[in-house]
A and B are shown apart, each in its own frame.
Chain A
Amino acid sequence: MAMARLKISDVLHVTELAKLSLDKKEGNYLTKQFNETLKEVDKLNNVKTINVLETSQVTNLKNVFREDLIDRKRMLSQKESLSGSKKIHNGYFVVKAILNEK
């Protein structure tokens, strides 16, 4: 099976998706390492997995729910909720204006 070999542009697309920023030097360096890692990870393609199901959970648990009750024990006061940030105003978190719609 063909090995993936990414160009720096592919890697930059990924960093955009992940909202990370790299300078040019870092970009080149990490692209090289990215491809090294892919070399190891591409070994997966040599393994036969016909009729094998994916494991996304090792617990074998099913239907784990909570009752529809209010849990005041865990609720944070407004002060606690905001305590992690200095950029707050009248009880709100403040961020730079959003230009892009979701």
Chain B
Amino acid sequence: MKNYTPIIGLEIHVELRTHSKMFCGCPGDHFGKAPNTQTCPVCLGLPGALPVPNKKAVEWALMLGLALNCKVNKESKFDRKHYFYPDLPKGYQISQYEEPLASHGWLKFSNSPPRRQAGNLQFPNNKVGITRVHLEEDTGKLQHITLDGEKVSLVDFNRSGVPLVEIVSDPGIRSAGQAKEYAQKIQQIVRYLEISDSDMEKGSMRLEANISLQNQKAKGKNQKLPDYKVEVKNINSFRFLEKAINYEIERQAKLLSQGKKISQETRGWSEKDQKTVSQRSKETAADYRYFPEPDIPPMEFSESFIKDLKKRLPDLPDKLVKEFIEKYSVREEYAKILASDKNTAKLGQKVLEIAVKEGVKTDDVAGIIINQKVNLVKANIAKIVSDIKKTQSGKISDSGTLEKMVEDAIKLNPKAVEDYKKGKTQSISVLIGAAMRLSSDKADAKSVKEILEKRLQ
């Protein structure tokens, strides 16, 4: 593996939770509805029907683009993408090709790959570029069954025409871990914007990964991307995403090291077999014959319009994490967890405001909320801090008393002391426990540990 650099790009589709579909007034909420009960001439692809775009869907897609640090394209339009499939009623999908709504964005993450791996040349290793964010319509749903002894597919068009935002990353992801973090971040941002449930089980968020390997030895020379890529579909969870990517990297590395060529193809993740499986490989790339959608006039976005959209953006996760750290002195690990959900974050901030007022250490409060899995939505916010204050008020924190208890603990546990000095550092927990018992649990455990460590040097 050390000879190859994974070149990974993710394509994420997010179903927008608009009231109505992308190009018609049928309800957008299709989950669990009786088949073909939410269609109209437009989304059923009847002869003569015409599309009219949903304003809110366009605004939300633009906002997502802005939240992903993209540039909004002042001029944008829809294009027709042609292919034949029973769940695609018009024989083409209205999508965007040459002028997507937004492009050239980026996302930062903490999971950096080792330096020696060739990184995305444009960005430092902890950032991945977002190529484009565009809008399109969803297809109907197919179900495969056997009917009267014949293998058939059942088609339901309730989902046909629901708005989808497609987010395409640059091939700058370098590991399964990074991919997982990227996908989770996208989901988090989408939920912060409240534009989609982005629930992978319900299918309102779908992942596809493009994976290839670049030969390390090519480093220094013309660093082009590999001349193939394997597309992996049917990934229904973040866990599967990691597994699938890791499996693919291994599979490809093996083939390459054997001098074999890797075919450009689409593979699906099989949870049953714990591997990626080849689906029909296409010898030639599909010819979608994209051309500008003649039924829909192009879009033009003014500076003031984009400015207004920017104003409508809520505070995003990264900003809230920063606030927790800088304003509330919460450690990064806690800050990230609190900010994972917008509601939790907002309520968390309220609690910490109270903590500050009451003079209770905010980092402690955060820790307690997280470790005790406090449900901030259901809890009585005011009570949380006052409860913590009560338990903390009996705490012994003056060094004199603590040092005495530490001495007693040491006297009572000579073996633990010996083990610790021999190098078994975990033995200190025995001593901490002893000191805590001596204090009837009123000692501040952190301080106890610090004193012990100093004493036993």
Contact = CB atoms under 8 A, between A and B. Distances in A.
A81 B44 contact: yes
Interface string B6-41: 000000000000111000111100000011111111
Contacts of B266: 101
A73 B34 CA distance: 19
Interface in B253-300: 266, 279-280, 287, 289, 291-292, 294, 296-300
Contacts of A71: 20, 24-26, 40
B151 to A, nearest CB: 4
A78 B27 CA distance: 14
A63 B58 CA distance: 10
Interface string A86-98: 0001111111111
A94 B152 contact: yes
A77 B39 CA distance: 8
A78 B35 contact: yes
Query: Binding site of A, secondary structure by majority: helix, strand, loop or mixed?
Result: loop
Interface residues on B, range: 35 or more
Contacts of A45: none
Query: Binding site of B, secondary structure by majority: helix, strand, loop or mixed?
Result: loop
Nearest to A101: B279
Given A92-B143, A92-B156, A59 B297 contact: yes
B35 A92 contact: yes
A66 B55 contact: yes
Contacts of A70: 19-20, 25-27
Contacts of A68: 18-20, 54-57
Contacts of B287: 17
Contacts of B298: 57, 62
Contacts of A47: none
Contact of B39 (A67, A75, A100): A75
A65 B53 contact: yes
Contacts of B152: 94-97
Interface stretch (B78-86, B365-373, B422-430): B78-86
A74 interface: yes
Q: Which 6 pairs between the two chains have the least Cβ-Cβ distance?
A: A71-B25, A92-B154, A97-B151, A68-B56, A65-B55, A61-B297
Interface of B: 18-20, 24-27, 34-42, 44, 46, 52-58, 83-86, 142-144, 147, 150-157, 266, 279-280, 287, 289, 291-292, 294, 296-300
